C-alpha cells in the first residue's frame, strides 16, 4: 500500500467551483495575514471566515481583485479586532495559560508575551497603511501581492515597507523608553 | 545613474532579482549604496524578529466546509465556534464501495440506519471494531432521525473510469494496483471496472426537536474522494439483480428491512443474484472525511444520544467508545448475518466480515488516513491475499 507523505493534504479534484478555487488558493494566506497581527491561530481563522463570508456576500469569485480584496480585508479586520483591548487581554491570558500548561519556562513565557504585546500595541499606533504593509509582507506575500492589496505599484512597496519598518522601530523604542 | 532609493534597496533585500540589470549593476559598483543597504537589511532583520509569530497550520478544505455551512444558514448568523474532527463515514462507502456493499449486503442493514448514518461521522478512527447489533438495538435511536435532515451540498457522484490510472486521476488518490497472481482462479481473467467518487459534502442542522445543547448547530461533513476496482462481470450481475428484483431495493430504498422475514428474503435474493453473476470482487480506497461543527461538540452529541431512553447496552457502549483514545471505529454489524473478527492486513489491524449466509466476505482496514476495503464472493483467505498484495 503506498505511503502517503501527507495523509491530510488533500489535492482537490478539478473542476472546482470558482469560489472554492479562490478559497483553497487564498485561505492560507488570509489566515497568515490575520495571524501575523493577532498571533493567535484560532482567532486568525475566525477572521478568515469573516473575510471570506463578507467577500462571498458582496463580490464575484472570478473578480480580478479578489485576492487583493481578501488580503486587505484580513489586515483591516485583524487590526480592528486587536484594537479591542478586552479581547486582547483575554487572548493574552489564554496564551499565557496555554504556554504555562505546555511546560515552558515561565520567564520565557512572560518575555515572549510581553514582546508580542508591545509589537501589537505598536502596530495599532502606526498609520494603518504602515501596519498593513508590514503585516502583508511579513505574512509572505510578494511585492506584487502587497502592492495590489494596498492599491499601489509593486515598485512603491519597498518604499512603504522601509518607512513602516523605521516607524515600527521608533514606536518600539518609544514604548520601551516610557 | 542615480543611487538606489531606500525603497529599491529594501526590495533588493527581499527580491534581489526583481531589479533591472542597470540598477543591479550600479549597486554592484557603488560602495555608498552597499553601505546604505547594510542599514536597510539590518532594519529588515529587526522587523522580521518583531513581527515573528508562531506559524498557523490550516485546513482549507475543512474551513471551506465550515464557511459553506454558515452561508447555508444565512447571512448574519453567529460566528462559528470551530471544531474540526476527522473520521470515517459510512455514507462515502455507499458511493465508493457501492459494488462491494451490494456484494456483502451490508448497506441495507447498517449504513442507512440512524446509527450508521450519524454516529460514525464524528470520529478519529485508526482501526475498526465490529459491534454486533440486533435490529432492536436501534430502537432507542429512532428519535435521532427527527433531529435534522442530512442535506448534501455536493452529492457523491460515481464516475466510471477506463483504467486504474484514470480513476486515480479523478480521485487524486494513488492508483489501485493489484498483484494479479494473487487473484482467485475465477477472477483471473475477469473484466475489471474502475470508478471514482470525487469529494462530496453534506450537512445536518439540528432542529428544535433536538436537545437544546444541539439545537441550531450544523455538522458539516466533507467526504471522499474514493476509487474502486471491481473484478467480475457487472453486466451479468446487473441482469441477475434486475431479474431477482432485490439488490436495487435493498441498496437504494434507504431503509433497513423492518422484519427478520423480509430481511431474510432480501438476503436470499441478493445471494441468488450473486450466484448467477459469478465471482465478484471489489477493492476500494477512500480518503478519511472531515467533520466540522458550528457549535455542538462531540461530547454534546454523545450526551444527547446517551440521554435517549431505551438504548441497548450494546449501542450505549458503542456511543461511549466513539472518542476512545485508540481511535477505534465501532462498525455496526447485523447480528446473526455477518461474522466479524480482527485480522492483520497491511501490517495493521483490520476487520474481516465473513457472512454465514453464503453471500461472501469483506476485509476493511484503515491506514495512513485512508479507509480500504476488499469485498467479494470469494473466501476470506483469498481476500486477505489480495488485500496484502495491494501496492
Least confident of A47-51, B9-13, B302-306: B302-306
Task: Answer for the pair B201, B152: CB distance below 8 angstroms, yes or no.
Answer: yes
Confidence of residue B174 (pLDDT cuts 50, 70, 90): confident
Phi, psi of B120, rounded to the nearest 5 degrees: -80, 0
Parallel/antiparallel/unpaired status of strands B218-223 and B290-293: antiparallel
Of B51, B71, B370, the CB nearest to A138: B51
For residue B85, pLDDT over 60 is answered with no
Identify the DSSP state of B186: G
Task: Answer for the pair A131, A79: CB distance below 8 angstroms, yes or no.
Answer: yes
Separation CA B49–CA B264 (nearest Å): 70
Separation CA B54–CA A44 (nearest Å): 12
For residue B108, pLDDT over 50 is answered with no
Using an 8 Å CB-CB cutoff, list chain B residues near A119. Answer: 50-51
Using an 8 Å CB-CB cutoff, list chain B residues near A23. Answer: 60, 63-64, 67
Using an 8 Å CB-CB cutoff, list chain A residues near B56. Answer: 31-32, 35, 41, 44-45
Mutation pick from B50, B157, B197 vs chain A, by most beta carbons of A within 10 Å, is: B50
Residue B374, strand partner residues: B283, B363
For chain B, list the strands marked E by DSSP. Answer: 83-86, 127-133, 150-154, 158-161, 192-197, 200-205, 218-223, 226-231, 281-287, 290-293, 328-334, 338-345, 348-355, 361-367, 370-376
Confidence of residue B350 (pLDDT cuts 50, 70, 90): confident
CB contact under 8 A, A53 and B8: no
CB contact under 8 A, B86 and A8: yes
Locate the chain A residue with the closest alpha carbon to B75. A57
Q: Is B308 helix (H, G, I), strand (E, B) or coil?
A: coil
**Dihedral (CA of B117, B122, B127, B129) sign:** negative
Q: Which residue has the cell 489480495?
A: B386
Q: Is B36 or B183 the better-scoring residue by pLDDT?
A: B36
Confidence of residue A83 (pLDDT cuts 50, 70, 90): confident
Report pLDDT digits (tens) over B155-172. Answer: 667 788 888 888 888 888
pLDDT reported for residue B196: 87
pLDDT reported for residue B259: 38
Task: Answer for the pair B368, B385: CB distance below 8 angstroms, yes or no.
Answer: no
pLDDT reported for residue A109: 65
Separation CA A57–CA A60 (nearest Å): 9
Q: Is B216 helix (H, G, I), strand (E, B) or coil?
A: coil
Confidence of residue B348 (pLDDT cuts 50, 70, 90): confident
Of B63, B369, B372, the CB nearest to A7: B369
CB contact under 8 A, A162 and B7: yes
pLDDT reported for residue A32: 93
Cell of B158: 460515481
- Please state the pTM of the whole predicted model: 0.44
Separation CA B97–CA B195 (nearest Å): 10
For residue B45, pLDDT over 50 is answered with yes
For residue A70, pLDDT over 90 is answered with yes
Of A10, A143, A168, the CB nearest to B11: A143
Q: Is A82 or B323 the better-scoring residue by pLDDT?
A: A82
Query: Which segment, A87-91, A153-157, B144-148, is predicted with the most confidence on average?
Result: A153-157
Separation CA B231–CA B191 (nearest Å): 6
For residue B390, pLDDT over 60 is answered with yes
Check: complex ipTM more than 0.90: no
Locate the chain A residue with the closest alpha carbon to B389. A1
Using an 8 Å CB-CB cutoff, list chain B residues near A116. Answer: 53
Report pLDDT digits (tens) over B201-224. Answer: 777 777 888 887 777 777 776 677
CB contact under 8 A, A7 and B370: yes
Using an 8 Å CB-CB cutoff, list chain B residues near A48. Answer: 63
Q: Is B365 or A164 the better-scoring residue by pLDDT?
A: A164
Calculate mean pLDDT across residues A14-26.
82
Using an 8 Å CB-CB cutoff, list chain A residues near B198. Answer: 13
Length of chain B equals 391
For B242-337, list the strands marked E by DSSP. Answer: 281-287, 290-293, 328-334
Identify the DSSP state of B108: I
pLDDT reported for residue A174: 82
CB contact under 8 A, B9 and A53: no
Taking only residues 58 to 97 of chain A, the set having a beta carbon closer than 8 angstroms to any beta carbon of chain B reads none
Identify the DSSP state of B81: P
Q: Is B286 or B299 the better-scoring residue by pLDDT?
A: B286
pLDDT reported for residue B12: 87
Confidence of residue A130 (pLDDT cuts 50, 70, 90): very high
Separation CA B375–CA B284 (nearest Å): 9
Task: Answer for the pair B54, A95: CB distance below 8 angstroms, yes or no.
Answer: no
pLDDT reported for residue B319: 75
CA atoms within 13 A on the CB side of B141: 25
Amino acid at each position: 500500500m503506498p505511503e502517503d507523505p501527507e495523509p491530510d493534504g488533500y489535492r482537490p479534484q478539478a473542476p472546482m467551483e470558482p469560489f472554492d478555487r479562490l478559497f483553497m488558493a487564498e485561505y492560507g494566506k488570509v489566515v497568515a495575514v490575520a495571524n501575523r497581527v493577532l498571533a493567535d491561530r484560532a482567532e486568525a481563522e475566525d477572521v478568515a471566515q469573516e473575510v471570506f463570508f463578507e467577500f462571498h456576500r458582496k463580490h464575484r469569485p472570478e473578480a480580478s481583485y479578489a485576492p487583493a480584496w481578501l488580503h486587505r480585508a484580513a489586515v483591516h479586520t485583524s487590526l480592528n479586532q486587536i484594537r479591542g483591548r478586552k479581547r486582547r487581554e483575554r487572548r493574552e491570558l489564554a496564551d499565557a495559560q496555554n504556554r504555562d500548561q505546555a511546560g515552558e519556562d515561565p520567564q520565557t513565557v512572560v518575555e515572549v508575551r510581553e514582546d508580542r504585546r508591545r509589537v501589537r500595541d505598536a502596530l495599532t499606533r502606526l498609520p494603518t497603511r504602515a501596519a498593513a504593509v508590514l503585516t502583508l509582507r511579513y505574512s509572505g506575500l510578494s511585492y506584487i501581492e502587497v502592492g495590489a492589496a494596498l492599491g499601489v505599484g509593486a515598485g512603491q512597496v519597498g518604499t512603504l515597507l522601509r518607512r513602516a519598518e523605521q516607524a515600527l522601530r521608533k514606536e518600539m523604542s518609544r514604548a520601551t523608553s516610557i | 545613474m542615480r543611487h538606489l532609493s531606500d525603497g529599491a534597496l529594501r526590495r533588493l533585500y527581499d527580491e534581489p532579482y526583481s531589479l533591472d540589470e542597470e540598477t543591479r549593476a550600479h549597486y554592484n559598483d557603488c560602495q555608498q549604496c552597499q553601505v546604505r543597504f547594510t542599514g536597510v537589511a539590518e532594519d529588515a532583520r529587526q522587523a522580521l524578529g518583531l513581527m515573528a509569530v508562531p506559524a498557523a497550520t490550516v485546513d482549507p478544505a475543512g474551513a471551506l466546509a465550515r464557511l459553506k455551512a454558515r452561508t447555508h444558514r444565512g447571512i448574519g448568523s453567529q460566528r462559528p465556534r470551530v471544531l474540526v474532527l476527522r473520521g470515517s463515514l459510512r455514507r462515502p462507502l455507499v458511493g465508493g464501495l457501492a459494488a462491494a456493499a451490494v456484494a456483502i449486503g451490508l448497506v441495507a442493514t447498517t449504513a442507512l440506519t440512524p446509527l450508521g448514518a450519524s454516529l460514525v461521522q464524528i470520529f478519529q478512527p485508526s482501526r475498526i471494531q465490529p459491534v454486533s447489533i440486533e435490529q432492536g438495538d436501534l430502537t432507542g435511536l429512532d428519535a435521532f432521525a427527527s433531529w435534522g435532515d442530512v442535506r448534501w451540498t455536493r452529492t457523491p457522484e460515481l464516475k466510471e473510469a477506463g483504467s486504474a490510472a484514470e480513476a486515480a486521476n479523478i480521485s487524486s488518490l494513488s492508483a489501485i494496483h493489484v498483484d494479479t497472481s494473487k487473484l482467485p482462479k475465477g477472477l483471473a481473467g475477469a473484466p475489471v471496472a474502475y470508478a471514482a467518487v470525487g469529494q462530496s459534502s453534506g450537512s445536518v442542522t439540528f432542529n428544535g426537536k433536538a436537545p437544546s445543547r444541539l439545537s441550531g448547530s450544523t455538522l458539516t461533513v466533507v467526504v471522499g474522494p474514493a476509487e474502486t476496482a471491481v473484478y467480475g462481470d457487472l453486466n451479468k450481475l446487473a441482469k441477475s439483480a434486475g431479474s431477482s428484483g432485490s439488490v436495487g431495493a435493498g441498496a437504494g430504498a434507504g431503509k433497513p428491512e423492518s422484519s427478520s422475514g423480509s430481511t431474510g428474503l432480501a438476503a436470499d435474493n441478493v445471494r441468488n443474484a450473486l450466484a448467477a453473476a459469478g465471482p465478484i470482487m471489489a477493492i476500494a480506497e477512500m480518503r478519511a472525511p472531515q467533520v466540522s461543527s458550528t457549535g455542538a461538540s462531540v461530547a454534546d452529541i454523545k450526551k444527547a444520544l446517551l440521554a435517549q431512553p431505551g438504548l441497548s447496552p450494546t449501542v450505549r457502549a458503542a456511543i461511549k467508545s466513539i472518542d476512545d483514545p485508540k481511535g477505534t471505529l465501532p462498525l455496526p454489524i447485523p447480528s446473526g448475518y455477518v461474522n466479524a473478527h480482527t485480522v492483520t492486513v497491511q501490517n495493521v489491524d483490520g476487520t474481516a466480515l465473513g457472512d454465514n449466509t453464503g453471500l461472501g466476505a469483506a476485509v476493511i482496514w484503515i491506514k495512513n488516513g485512508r479507509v480500504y476495503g476488499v469485498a467479494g464472493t470469494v473466501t476470506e483467505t483469498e481476500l486477505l491475499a489480495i488485500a496484502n498484495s495491494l501496492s
